[in-house]
Amino acid sequence: MKRFVGLATGVLALCAIVLADNALLINGAGATFPYPIYSKWFDVYHTKNPNFQFNYQSVGSGAGIKQVTEGTVDFGATDGPMNDDQLKAYQDKHNGVGILHFPTVLGADVPTYNISGVTGALNFTPDALAGIFLGKVTKWNDPAIAGTNKGVSLPSADIVVVHRSDGSGTTYIWTDYLSKVSEEWKSKVSKGTSVNWPVGLGGKGNEGVTGLVKQTPNSIGYVELIYAVQNNIPYGSVKNSSGNFVKADLASVTAAAAGAAKSMPDDFRVSITDAPGKTAYPISSFTWLLIPQKFQDAGKRDAIKDFLKWMLSEGQGSVEALSYAKLPKEVVEKEKKAINSIQ
Amino acid sequence: MSNGRLRWRKFISNFMLAMTGVCAFVSVLVLFFILGYLLFNGGTSINWDFFTKLPKPVGETGGGMANAIVGSGKILLLASLMGVPIGFLGGIYLAEFSGKGMASVVRYAADLLNGVPSIVIGIFAYSLVVLPFKHFSALAGAFALGIMMIPITLRSTEEFLKSVPRMLREGAMALGASKWKTIATVIVPAAYRGIMTAILLALARVAGETAPLLFTAFGNRFESHGWSQPTATLPVMIYTYAVSPYDDWHRQAWAAGLVLLGLVLIINILARTILSRGIAVPRS
Amino acid sequence: MATTTTALKGAGPVTGSRSFFARLRDGDEIARLVTLLFATTVVLITAALVWELWVNSALPRQKFGFHFFVTSVWDPIMEQFGALPFIYGTMVTSAVALLIAVPLGIGAAIFLAELAPPRISDTLQFFIDLLAAVPSVIYGLLGVFIVVPLMRTVIYPALNKPFGYLPIFKGPSYGVGFMTAGIVLAIMVIPYIISVSREVLLSVPRDQREAALALGSTRWESTWKVVVPFAKTGIMGSIFLALARALGETMAVTMVIGNTPKIAASLFAPGYSIAAVIANEFTEATGDLYLQSLIALGLVLFLLTFILNGLARLLIVVTTQKGSEVGG
């Protein structure tokens, strides 16, 4: 009996310690594409506002959309904007209340590879990329690749394609681009966060794909720019619609968004892949936070609104260090107004 | 029988028996290899930070898994609170009260539950706890793990209670004790050791489970408070860090692996030595 | 209300004829009801689990029917879901695992049961039990950092160069794939084969061995030709047990299998298993058909392990009973 009482007291004491609730926890989940900058932002924001903890789980855009629709997280994140069916599904589940897209940064999908002896940037044409991911270009020294890379000695090894195994906005961006530049891709595979890949291995998250490419010789994958940079793996240039081979960087990604900045729709859903412009990087994209239009919890709503305002002003200052491009001024202004519509 | 043929058969016999010895030692060697490898890679990465700091933003080195260690502890505690009473009291029912029919139904259900793959239990916990309450939580994770603890606890309680000598029971009843008093004050204490070890083994088994936590406890960058917030746990952190490309995260994954394996092995060794050293039921 | 029974017939409180509330004042009835409640909870939980699985996988059953099991397309955009690649992957990796683990495991069990002195046998069994306790994610960790490079640098060249014309050894190596997953699974299931086989071998009566030896057989011949066949069913049981464990393995497999929903003849190709696809895609399955197709896969897995576990138990019980019947 004594032992039982002792145990019970211990358990209750533990509960008391554990139940002490000091900060407001706001849960979000979604895209791995912007995870490096989001984790940095939430960390800095928490230091400035210790009462708020933004817990962001990098599980992929597909899961972000799903979980915010189910209501199991407070906000989502995706690089593939929700389509009309998904928006309607959200509204149906939430009594007609909608969900808003808020662009946060500009980023780029880069083709990253692991070929022994090749440390520089290979030039890829749209046909080469489509061919590789369709499984039709199977060797690294195929003319489709070798033709635009004279002077680089490419091995006759088989290409190991790496793609995403989870529902991914990064995949959406990549397949959106391939659908625009390849009729065959469009009809066979088309675009989406989770597609029926003709070939390749699946890695979980941008992290998983980078990890697989890093460890697998003769592999190629598509990842957000910062993942290639942070892990020191080479990535290639892609031929844009004006015929120039452009490598992804702040300038080329910003150039890709130039046109969209002016004609941004009210719901902020837009695709900037294969954008016109001599210096534009063709596989660039916005990435969005998915914020419900109405919040039950006033505390969470105010915290999120405050974070969004901070993100659009101070937050933008830290994006370039992680190789993301800042949002165009016009978009920032438009978003500031949109924040007010969150109830 | 010719001598040559006999020599050949003897040779084959010695050879094959030696091969079986090789099989046995190879199997055991694997365990030591795993331990050694983890000790080497994890040992060099364990430092004070690992136990006390929170994870750092992506790409930055340093940080630790303090929240995951606490989170795992919390979930295991709650899982035990859920699973052990059900298994324990159910086991008492099977050993002391039940008729044949009900007993076989309960035993069958427990065996069935025991064989369910842990990912399927995760699906169950997601539909039952996460969706209705609309958030990932330590509670949901504990629910999944608690279910997994039930069958082992139930069967072991039943077995150890049944193995208590009749003399003890009869003695208590002869003294006028009612049934439940006999159970509470004589039989259970007698079988205490065996039941404790079973609980420890069940705990060790669920401590390493990852799959059911993926969509119940989810994950948390920070310390989680209370039972209803998403929680970081050691096994899920190991998984996330291991498949990432960052070397620093790999280092931390090894450290976490060492801590987790150490915990599981220590519990196992403890449980088995208690069981083998003491007689599960003391002679009167 | 059933009559209360006591541990000893004829002794203790008088049974049955009192009213329910009168019995309730007696602590025993409360104790019985309380423990019955908890025991029923176990049954309820199990029933609820099976029910949830069945009900929440209704859509693909309605839409695809039997074709769900034989279609190999897994396309979330087109909403075409076929379970074949995952069933194939689960089968193949388990088969590879058993091919490696069964000879090793039975060999080790023979050594422990027949040759090793009891102290050594018990000590080694202790270590093997510890091996069974190692968490799956740790095997995954070791798989990613040790087995995958090993596959790429040692195993693949060793098998592909001489035997590359065989369909199972054809094609490029990715490091990850069916064989890698099979190897990791083999290490995970060996302890189960060893401990159960060792027990059934130990339960074979001494007479059998002694009779064989008396007839002039060597140690090995008596073991292999008499003892093992006697324990055959039990050993089969241990294999089924190991198979059931391999089928349900999630983490270690998803970390080394390549996560590709394709059927390929080559063991070096990447693939997918039922448990792995659920782990990867469950939290993001938008749309009811997608989610329910994953749950349907979970149901398939559950049924497979259920059948195997049941068979295993049956076989093991039969063998150990046979041992005690034939006489010691």
| Chain-chain contact of C7 with B1 (C-beta, under 8 angstroms) | no
| Chain-chain contact of C284 with A215 (C-beta, under 8 angstroms) | no
CB A153 within 8 A of CB A117: yes
Min distance C286 CA to chain A CA atoms (Å): 5
Count of beta carbons in the 10 Å neighbourhood of residue C310: 16
Per the DSSP assignment, residues forming a β-bridge with A139 are: A158
Q: What is the mean pLDDT of residues C300-312?
A: 89
| Chain-chain contact of B135 with A18 (C-beta, under 8 angstroms) | no
What is chain A's mean pLDDT, rounded?
90
Nearest CA in chain A to B220: A55
What was the pLDDT predicted at C20? 66
**Size of chain B in residues:** 284
Is residue B178 scored above 90 in pLDDT? no
User: Tokens in use for C273?
Assistant: 């298993």
What is chain B's mean pLDDT, rounded?
87
Judged by DSSP in three states, A292 sits in strand
Single-letter code of the amino acid located at A169: G
| Chain-chain contact of A158 with C172 (C-beta, under 8 angstroms) | yes
What was the pLDDT predicted at A334? 92
Residues 16-75 of C with CB under 8 A from A: 73-75
C interface test, pick of B96, B148, B179 with most C CB neighbours within 10 Å: B179
The C-alpha angle with vertex B148 and arms to B144 and B150, in degrees rounded to 5, equals: 120
Per-residue three-class SS string for A248-291? CCHHHHHHHHHHHHHCCCCCCCCCCCCCCCCCCCCCEEEEEEEE
Window from A18-32, A213-227, B269-283 with minimum mean pLDDT: B269-283
Judged by DSSP in three states, B98 sits in coil
Is residue C4 scored above 70 in pLDDT? no
What was the pLDDT predicted at C326? 65
Window from A79-88, A250-259, B269-278 with minimum mean pLDDT: B269-278
CB C187 within 8 A of CB B27: no
How far is A335 from A305, CA to CA, in rounded Å?
11
Chains that touch A (3 or more CB pairs under 8 A): B, C
How far is B121 from C250, CA to CA, in rounded Å?
12
Place of tokens 């029971």: B169
| Chain-chain contact of B31 with C47 (C-beta, under 8 angstroms) | no
Is residue B1 scored above 60 in pLDDT? no
Convert the pLDDT of each residue in A291-325 to its tens digit: 999 998 999 999 999 999 999 999 999 999 999 99
pLDDT band at B283 (very low <50, low <70, confident <90, very high): very low
| Chain-chain contact of A66 with C283 (C-beta, under 8 angstroms) | yes
- Give this prediction's pTM: 0.87
Is residue A336 scored above 80 in pLDDT? yes
Question: Among the ranges A231-240, A260-269, C213-222, which has the highest mean pLDDT value?
Answer: A231-240
pLDDT band at A97 (very low <50, low <70, confident <90, very high): very high
**Does B169 lie at the interface with C, CB-CB under 8 angstroms?**
yes
Q: What is the mean pLDDT of residues B69-83?
A: 93
| Chain-chain contact of C52 with B128 (C-beta, under 8 angstroms) | yes
pLDDT band at A196 (very low <50, low <70, confident <90, very high): confident
Convert the pLDDT of each residue in C97-110 to its tens digit: 999 999 999 999 99
Q: What is the mean pLDDT of residues B219-234?
A: 87
Is residue B191 scored above 90 in pLDDT? no
Q: What is the mean pLDDT of residues A228-247?
A: 93
- Phi, psi values for residue A255, rounded to 5°: -65, -35
Residues 44-83 of B with CB under 8 A from C: none
Min distance A45 CA to chain B CA atoms (Å): 12
DSSP A29: E
Min distance A212 CA to chain B CA atoms (Å): 8
What was the pLDDT predicted at C3? 45
Q: What is the mean pLDDT of residues C21-42?
A: 81
Is residue A21 scored above 70 in pLDDT? no
Convert the pLDDT of each residue in C268-303 to its tens digit: 999 999 999 999 888 888 778 889 999 999 999 999
| Chain-chain contact of A42 with B245 (C-beta, under 8 angstroms) | no
* Residue C261, C-beta contacts closer than 8 angstroms, at least 6 positions apart: C72, C74, C85, C86, C271, C272, C277
Nearest CA in chain C to B34: C142
Judged by DSSP in three states, A104 sits in strand
* Residue B225, C-beta contacts closer than 8 angstroms, at least 6 positions apart: A18, A19, A20, A21, A22, A23, A25
What was the pLDDT predicted at C187? 93
Residues of A in contact with C174 (CB under 8 A): 160, 201, 216, 219
What was the pLDDT predicted at A4? 60
CB nearest B243 (choices: A20, A57, A208): A208
Judged by DSSP in three states, B256 sits in helix
pLDDT band at B22 (very low <50, low <70, confident <90, very high): very high
Q: What is the mean pLDDT of residues B101-115?
A: 89
pLDDT band at B279 (very low <50, low <70, confident <90, very high): very low
What was the pLDDT predicted at A30? 92
Residues of B in contact with A3 (CB under 8 A): none
Q: What is the mean pLDDT of residues A46-53?
A: 91
Convert the pLDDT of each residue in A105-157 to its tens digit: 999 999 999 998 899 999 999 999 999 999 999 999 999 999 999 989 999 98
Nearest CA in chain C to B92: C35
Q: What is the mean pLDDT of residues A183-201?
A: 90
**Does A307 lie at the interface with B, CB-CB under 8 angstroms?**
no
User: Tokens in use for B141?
Assistant: 């994770």
Residues of B in contact with A230 (CB under 8 A): 58-59, 245-246
**Does C123 lie at the interface with B, CB-CB under 8 angstroms?**
no
Convert the pLDDT of each residue in C222-264 to its tens digit: 888 888 888 888 888 889 988 988 998 999 999 999 888 989 8
How many helices (H) and strands (E) are present in chain B, helices listed first? 13, 0
Decide: residue B284, CB within 10 A, 0-12 exposed, 13-18 middle, 19+ buried.
exposed
**Size of chain A in residues:** 343
